[in-house]
Amino acid sequence: MNDYERVARIIRHLDEHHGEQPSLEMLAAKAGLGTFHFHRLFRRWAGVTPKDFLQCLTLAHARERLRRGESVLGSALDAGLSSPGRLHDLCLTLEAATPGEIKSGGAGWTIELGFARTPFGLCCLGNNPRGLCHLQFVEAGERTSAEQPVKLDWPHAALRWNDAAAKKTAAQIFQPGGPAGGGFRAHVRATAFQLRVWRALVAIPPGALVSYGHLASAVGKPSAARAVGNAVGANPLAFLIPCHRVIRETGVVGNYRWGHDRKLLIIGWEGAQFPAKNLPGSPTSPGIARAA
């Protein structure tokens, strides 16, 4: 069992039994580790103690981040950060495939695929000649099943496996403090509406959360929350396009394409790495107005 699986088991237990306030000893036993080893593992993975991590998953905490996140998103979009250029601190250029590229199905291209370990489990990454086109969490290192979504998007492209390149990219994306080595270029199949939603998602900073309804309003479609939800769910780049930062208006985390438990883990991890006091819109960041 790897670190992700151990911590995932504990976070699932905390989510189900948070009212019981389980002790460190009980959590260590649940993980099958000694108390000292478990505490050290958890701090290394999350950057905080299990008790502090639980705070990041509470309903009150989620509602506070919703309030701050809505303010942040509106300000970011007003500033033009949903344009194809620089998007918050990630420096991600997100471009859609042209109709001609979609029609050709990637003919003449070689897409490099690879597996990499992350704090949230195994992922599969893919790069086409224009940029990163695929990033999804997978449950096992089975190449046949992992490459199927790529084949559906680019049926005429050649596929070449390169785990070393995937591990290098993953090391830049998945690290405490957020992705490093900006300048990521992503090239995805998308409708104009999907692209608009995904660019808005990238404008949500780590540690903030927004509701589906507010996201719909932010992209100019206040009555299309369901359509926005579908676009969020169709995201081809897990974590990098942060669809995990969208939750229900009530503060309930809701579903996630790659698993509810994994969404809880990512939200809790980001909440620990980016505390509310460091979010734009907090009292220490007066440049962005707070939500009413």
Claim to verify: residue 82 and residue 211 sit in the same structural domain:
yes
**Domain shared by 7 and 103, yes or no:** no
- For 139, the 3-state DSSP assignment is coil
- Cβ contacts of residue 11 below 8 Å, gap of 6+? 53, 57, 261, 264, 265, 268
Under DSSP, is residue 205 helix (H, G, I), strand (E, B) or coil?
A: coil
Q: How confident is the model at residue 157 (pLDDT cuts 50, 70, 90)?
A: very high
**CATH at residue 127:** 1.10.10.10
Identify the weakest region by mean pLDDT among 85-94, 95-104, 166-175, 214-223. 85-94
Query: Averaged over 238-258, what is the pLDDT?
Result: 84
The structure tokens listed for 155 are: 């049926």
- Whether the per-residue pLDDT at 187 is higher than 70: the answer is yes
Question: Is there a single domain that holds both residue 144 and residue 42?
Answer: no
Instruction: Mark whether 102 and 223 lie in a shared domain.
Output: yes
* Tokens describing residue 143: 């190449």
pLDDT at 180 over 90: no
Percent of the chain with pLDDT over 90: 30
Q: What is the DSSP letter of 283?
A: T
Order the strands of the 158-161 sheet from edge to edge.
93-96, 185-188, 131-137, 121-128, 110-118, 158-161
Global pTM reads 0.76
CA dihedral 62, 79, 194, 187 (to 10 degrees): -110
Flag whether pLDDT at 250 surpasses 90: no
pLDDT for res 140: 79
Do 69 and 16 sit in the same domain of this protein? no
What value does the mean pLDDT of the chain take? 78
Residue 291 forms part of a structural domain: no
Residues 203 and 253 in one domain: yes
Which distant-in-sequence residues (6+ apart) come within 8 Å of 268 by Cβ? Answer: 11, 46, 53, 56, 57
pLDDT over threshold 60, residue 263: yes
What separation in angstroms does the CA of 176 have from each of 200, 273, 278? 23, 7, 15
CA dihedral 78, 281, 213, 63 (to 10 degrees): 180
CA atoms within 13 A on the CB side of 178: 17
Q: Which pLDDT does position 166 carry in this prediction?
A: 95
User: Looking at the predicted structure, is the pLDDT value of residue 141 above 80?
Assistant: no
Asked, for residue 290, whether it belongs to a domain, the answer is: no
Spatial contact of 139 and 148, defined as CB atoms under 8 Å apart: no
Domain annotation covers residue 65: yes
Cβ atoms of residues 178 and 216 within 8 Å: no
For 59-69, the pLDDT digits (tens) are 556 666 666 66
Between these two residues, 206 and 100, which has the higher pLDDT value? 100
**Residue 174 and residue 258 in one domain:** yes
Residue 243 is assigned to a structural domain of this protein: yes
Strand-pair partners of 126: 113, 134
Q: Say yes or no to pLDDT of 285 above 60.
A: no
Rounded average pLDDT over 85-109: 75
Residues 178 and 226 in one domain: yes
pLDDT score, position 248: 81
238 within domain boundaries: yes
Asked if residues 134 and 124 have their Cβ atoms less than 8 Å apart, the reply is yes
Instruction: Please tell me whether residues 29 and 143 are part of one structural domain.
Output: no
Range of the domain at 7: 3-55
pLDDT at 65: 64
> Do residues 243 and 120 share a domain?
yes
* Residue 288 vs residue 31, higher pLDDT: 31
Question: Do 123 and 45 reside in the same domain of the chain?
Answer: no
With a cut of 80, say whether residue 74 has pLDDT above it: no
In a domain, 259, yes or no: yes
Place of tokens 């809880």: 264
* pLDDT tens column, 200-218: 888 887 878 888 888 898 8
d(CA 251, CA 59): 6
**Active centre residues (catalytic):** 243
- In the prediction, which pLDDT does 288 show? 22
| pLDDT tens-digit series, residues 104-127 | 999 999 999 999 998 888 999 999
Residues 155 and 193 occupy one common structural domain:
yes
